[in-house]
Structure 1
Amino acid sequence: MTDKGIATVRAHLAKLPPPESLTLAERRTQYERALRVFPVPEGVKVEETQLGGVPAERLTPGATRGGAVILYLHGGGYCIGSPRSHRHLAAAIAVASEATAVVPDYRLAPEHPFPAALDDAVLTYRALLAEGVAPTQIVIGGDSAGGGLTVAILVALRDAGVPLPAAAVCLSPWTDLTCTAASYDTKASVDPIVRRAGVGEMARAYLAGQDAKTPLASPLFANLRGLPPLVIQVGSDEVLLDDAVALADRAKAAGVPTTLEVWDTMIHVWPWFITLLDEATAAVDAIARFTRPRLHGRAS
């Protein structure tokens, strides 16, 4: 490791205005500024497209193998975020996995509450299959709300009888919209990003009056049997730690091959800070060690 450490990221975050001081429009704009801060890896072709009527970005590295696709679902509490805010992270995972990344610009709450985001994710996946991409060539992944959405789409596809992807990746997944896990309190003092009040507001916007334990909104409460292999990465210093641990426990109990990685001193979705943090690069490399053998049939 070099001196690109978590202290650098914390210092970067400390310079930002508190989220509660911004309007929703301002928060969305702030997230989009990632385009200026975090460059896309060299050689990645960025294309705007539509899949199943859903706007999306297709990120194609210079070296891919066999038509493999990472369907990446961005985070942002279902209220902010876009393919642009997560372009650098999705592209880094694509490069490491020797695959193309597809990042849908799914509809956001409060304008489009549950199940709009899930519906758009399902349409995107079905469109990939219609293009001729085999389900065994697809890994679905996402961070935070996108991590929860990753589990939700797997459940929805299974229930609809649609062939499931080869595997799934969840980064700091938000899986329980009741926002009642103990780590909201025990990790509050060390998490510089997520607060119960903020995610509670986002949960209410997304749910629009529906039960917070609705399984496809809070997949921690879903039947997880029959899902493909799953890797979950979470930081030790984030309030969503318990969401990730509980998801891993429930998935294992349901017979899902599950790997849980708890990264010491890391914060919420630390791989997003890939140009600032060595552990972000290491996490992406770990993801690729999981995705490559499932997409390409080889270890690395």
Structure 2
Amino acid sequence: MTEHGVVGEWVDASGHDAASGSTDAVVLYLHGSAFAICSARTHRGLVSRLSRETGLPVFVVDYRLAPEWPFPSAADDVERAYQWLLDTGYEPDRIVIAGDSAGGHLALDLIIDNARRRVPQPAAVVLFSPLIDLTFALAERRERRRKDPMISAAAARALTSLYTRGQQPHIPRLRLAIESGTVLPPFLVQAGGAEMLVADADHLLEIVQSEAGTCVLEIWPDQMHVFQALPRLSPEADPALRRAARFIRAELGRLPSESTASSTRIETPCSD
């Protein structure tokens, strides 16, 4: 689907007619893979399961990829997609942002940009194995303690550098600088205990806490990067996705005046 400059795909296992705007809530999904590979199609399986578990339609942004489209192309496409949902008629407190890996960086950039432009924030943010530190310094420190079974920090940095080439790593939109006093939506973050980006997940928890926001961080022991997408390999994939779906439904069911639970880090999630 292409509309008003927004490219993406509706994935609906909820039984609603998402494209017609007949539902009042939606998930905006930002796929990962280092800003350079993957698409709405590659994430269709994960997103359809998320749609089924939440009972919500999901719109997956097919943002432009590096190296043909370097920074800030992907971030601009995500911003455009969020604004398009607002313009379509979705209320901000009926939109949930979700994503994995590099989609985590894009999600936090959107939240920061919303605050800067005074655009209403979404109801909540759900992230799987988010990439936050594009220098991979945090990942390298984690790697020295336990190697990631999927990829090295050096290889991941080489991929993301296709997106960030020519940019200084510490410019605000790449290091995700948050202005003091920024009001953040509630976050749920899930990361695998075996992946190097568990360090980024911890860093994101610290960022949200520093602004008095709320973030539930779940570390799933011995799981790999975005294990939620691999139900045939990981018995924990479906329980983790169900927990994410419950969080989404709970946040969408809150009144604006209601507060979320305090930030917390859970090493071993309860059985589903």
The alignment's TM-score, normalised by the length of structure 2, stands at 0.86
Q: Pick the aligned partner of 1:211 from 168, 173, 182.
A: 168
Aligned to 1:241: 198
C-alpha offsets along residues 190-238 of structure 1, whole Å, 9 cap, x if unaligned?
A: x22121121111232111121112332232x434731100011111100
Counterpart of 1:53, as a letter, is G
Query: What is the alpha-carbon distance in structure 2 between the residues aligned to residue 292 and residue 62 of structure 1?
Result: 13
Higher deviation after alignment, 104-113 or 269-278:
269-278
Equivalent residue for 1:136?
A: 93
Please give the per-residue CA displacement for 1:224-281, whole angstroms capped at 9, x wherever unaligned.
7311000111111001111110110121121111111011111111001124322010
The alignment of Structure 1 onto Structure 2 pairs a total of residues equal to 247
| Residue 184 (structure 1) aligned with residue 143 (structure 2) | yes
Whether 2:247 is the aligned partner of 1:290: answer yes
Q: What SS does structure 1 have at the residue aligned with 2:39?
A: coil
Say yes or no: does 1:73 pair with 2:25: no
Q: 2:68 aligns with which of 88, 106, 111?
A: 111
Q: Runs of 5+ in structure 2 lacking a partner? A: 17-21, 256-272
Partner residue, 2:122: 165
CA apart distance, 1:67: 2.3
Task: Tell me, yes or no, if the aligned pair for 1:139 and 1:165 is still in contact at 8 Å.
Answer: yes
Q: Is the 8 A contact 1:148 1:218 kept in 2?
A: no
SS in 2 for 1:127: helix
Match in the other structure for 1:58: 10
> Is 1:85–2:42 an aligned residue pair?
yes
Q: Please state how far the C-alpha of 1:98 moved relative to its aligned partner.
A: 1.2
CA distance in 2: counterparts of 1:222 and 1:52, whole angstroms = 29
Which of 217, 229, 237 aligns to 1:260? It is: 217
Correspondent of 2:233 among 276, 280, 285:
276
The secondary structure found in structure 1 opposite 2:99 is strand
1:101 alignment counterpart: 58
- Alpha-carbon offset, residue 140 of structure 1: 0.3
Deviations 1:106-136 (A, max 9, x none): 0011111111000000000100111101111
Match of 2:137, SS state, is: coil
What runs of 5+ residues in structure 1 fail to find an aligned partner? 1-48
Could you tell me whether the CA contact under 8 Å between 2:92 and 2:121 is conserved in 1? yes
Runs of 4+ in 1 over 4 A off after TM superposition: none
Distance in 2, matches of 1:51 and 1:105, equals: 12
> Quick check: 1:143–1:173 contact (8 Å CA) kept in 2?
yes
Q: SS of 2:233's equivalent?
A: coil
Q: CA offset at residue 160 of structure 1?
A: 1.0
Distance 1:240 1:122 in 2: 24
Cα RMSD, aligned residues only: 1.7
TM-score (norm 1): 0.78
Q: What is the percent sequence identity of the aligned residues? A: 35
Distance 1:90 1:216 in 2: 27
Counterpart Cα distance in 2 of 1:140 and 1:117: 15
The one of 70, 81, 102 aligned to 1:124: 81
In structure 2, the partner of 1:10 is none
**What is residue 222 of structure 1 aligned with on the other side?**
178
- State how far apart, in whole Å, the 2-side matches of 1:226 and 1:52 are: 29
